[in-house]
A and B are shown apart, each in its own frame.
Chain A
Amino acid sequence: MRLPKFEYFEPNDINEAVSILRNEPAARILAGGTDLLVNMKHRVECPPVIVNIKRIADLDYIRQDKGDIRIGALTPLNRICMTSVIKNSLPGLAQAASSVGSYHHQVMGTIGGNICQQNRCKYFNQSLRWRSSRPTCFKAGGEMCYVVNKKEICYSTYCGDLAPALLVANAKVKLAGAGQVAEVPIHQLFTGNGKAPLNLDDADMLTEIVIPGNSAQGVLSYIKFANRESIDFPIVGAAFWASTEKNEYRVAFTAVDRKPLRGHHIETLLQGKKLKAEIINEAGELATKAAKPVKTSIYSASYKRKLMGLLFRCSAENALRGLNS
C-alpha cells in the first residue's frame, strides 16, 4: 500500500517547524508515524505537506524539575515504560505506555504522538476499498456519520491510552505556536469534536508534557480492555489516581467518547472518604453511567458501559493495593 504523495520538511528546531506549519495550514506533523502513516495508507488522511519533527534536538527527555516531571513530546513510549522515575512515581503512566500497540509501536511511537492521535471509528479506519462500498463518512470528507446515521456530525472515539492517565495526573501540555509558548491543562487539548478532536491551531506544536509534583505523590493506576491484549486500541480504558493525604481521587476513561473523559460524578462521590471495597463498588455503579458510548467498534454501547464499571473497580482496587503497600 503506497503512501500518497506529499511535500516533505525536516525542520531542525521548533521555530523552524512552527514557521513551516504557519505557512502550510494543511500540513501534518510526523513523529513516530504509527498512527498518521496508517491513516495515510488508508487514504483517510492525505496531507499535502508532512513536517517530520524528529530531527529537532532536545524533545526526547524525562526530567525532574522542582518536583514536577517534564517529558519531551518525542520521548518514545518504551522509554516511559522503562524509566524508573515514571515506574516508581507514576506507575499508571508506565502501564498505559506499555499497553500501547506492540513493542514496535512503543519503540517508534512518542508520547506527544500518542496524545495527539486521530479519533477512531469502524467506518473511518478502513481501507479505501472497504470504504468505497458506501459514500464517504463525514470524518473522511463526506456528509454522513454512519454510527448515528446523522449528517454533519462525527461520533468517532478517542482511543489514546496515555491521555486518561495524564488527565488524572492533572498534567499540562506545552504548546509552541505562532510567536508564543503556552502551557495549558491537558483537558483543554481535546475538543470533543470527532471530526477535529484536537484544540490546536495550524501552527501549534505540542512540545512537552508537565506532570505536577503533587500528582507523583499519589497512586496512579491504568487498566484497559482490548480485543487482542497483545496489540490493540482500548475498547475501554480507565485511569484512577488517589491521594491518602486528603482522600482525594480522580478518575478518567478513554475510548468511551469523542475525547478522554473525567468521571467527575464518581470523584464527587469518593472525595474525602477512605477508599474501601464498599465505596469502590458504589462508585463502580456510577462509572457505568459516566459516558454514553456509541458503537464505533465491534463492541456494543451497553457492553462498554459495563466495562467502564468493571475497569474502574479494577483500577481503584489496584490503587488501593498501592496505597496499602
Chain B
Amino acid sequence: MKRAIELKINGDTYELLVAPNNTLLEVLREKLGLIGTKRGCDLGACGACTVLIDGEAYLSCLMLAVDATGKEIITIEGLAAGGDLHPLQRAFVEKGGLQCGFCTPGMILTAEAILNEDAHPTEAVVKKKMAGNLCRCTGYKKILEAVMSVSEPGESS
C-alpha cells in the first residue's frame, strides 16, 4: 500500500505518495525529475547515486524513500547556491576532473561529505573514502586534484 510521505530535498519540501519498495533514487529521478542523481549499478557498488543525507554520503539506490522522511536531503541540483557553482564544482571544472560527467554528481557529493567530516583531509583519506565512486573515463588523478585543491588550508568548502 502506498504511503504519503514528506521529503525535504535541497531545502524544498515535497509531499509524495510512494510505495514502500520505491528507493530514494527512483523517487528523485522518476517522481521529482531530479535526474542529476545517476543510476549506475543500482546495487551500491559504483557511487553514482550518492546523495547527502544530513550531510553524510548515502547511496540512494539502497535507501527506501519512506526511510528518508524527516531528513535533510541534498542532491547535486541543490549544491550550487544562487547560481554560483559550489567550490567543488568549480574545482572539478578547473582541474578537468570530469569527462562524460556521469560519475561527477556522485563524486562531488561524496567529496562534500568527506569535507563536511574534516575540512582538511589527507590525500590518502580522500583516496580511501572516494574509492566507492567509480569513474570509467577520466581516471582519478584529476578528480583527486580537484578535491585536494578545495581542501587546502585557506580554501572554503
Residues of the A chain whose Cβ atoms lie less than 8 Å from the Cβ of B128: 103, 230
Nearest CB in chain A to that of B1: its residue: A7
Contact (Cβ within 8 A) B131 A34:
no
Asked if A6 is an interface residue, CB under 8 A from chain B, the answer is yes
Asked if A321 is an interface residue, CB under 8 A from chain B, the answer is no
Known contacts A4-B21, A50-B20, A108-B59; decide if A231 and B132 are in contact (CB<8 Å): yes
Option from A5, A52, A103 in Cβ contact (under 8 Å) with B130: A103
Known contacts A38-B44, A104-B59; decide if A231 and B131 are in contact (CB<8 Å): yes
Nearest Cβ on chain B to A128's Cβ, whole angstroms: 13
**Chain B, 5-26, CB within 8 A of any chain A CB:** 19-23, 26
Contact (Cβ within 8 A) A37 B20:
no
Residues of the B chain whose Cβ atoms lie less than 8 Å from the Cβ of A30: 64, 67
Chain A CB within 10 Å, residue with most, of B62, B130, B133: B62
Q: Tell me the bound Cα distance from A4 to B132 in angstroms.
A: 26
Query: What's the interface size class on B, roughly?
Result: 20 to 34
Contact (Cβ within 8 A) B42 A41:
yes
Chain A residues within 8 Å of chain B by Cβ, number: 28
Asked if B32 is an interface residue, CB under 8 A from chain A, the answer is no
Contact (Cβ within 8 A) B59 A7:
no
Contact (Cβ within 8 A) B63 A108:
yes
Known contacts A33-B62, A37-B62; decide if A2 and B132 are in contact (CB<8 Å): no
Show the binding face of A for B, using Cβ within 8 Å: 1-8, 10, 30, 33-34, 37-38, 41, 50, 52, 54, 101-105, 107-108, 229-231
Show the binding face of B for A, using Cβ within 8 Å: 1, 3, 19-23, 26, 42-45, 47, 50, 56-59, 62-64, 66-67, 110, 113-114, 128-133
Sample of 7 A–B contacts (CB below 8 Å): A3-B22, A4-B21, A7-B1, A30-B64, A37-B62, A101-B132, A231-B132
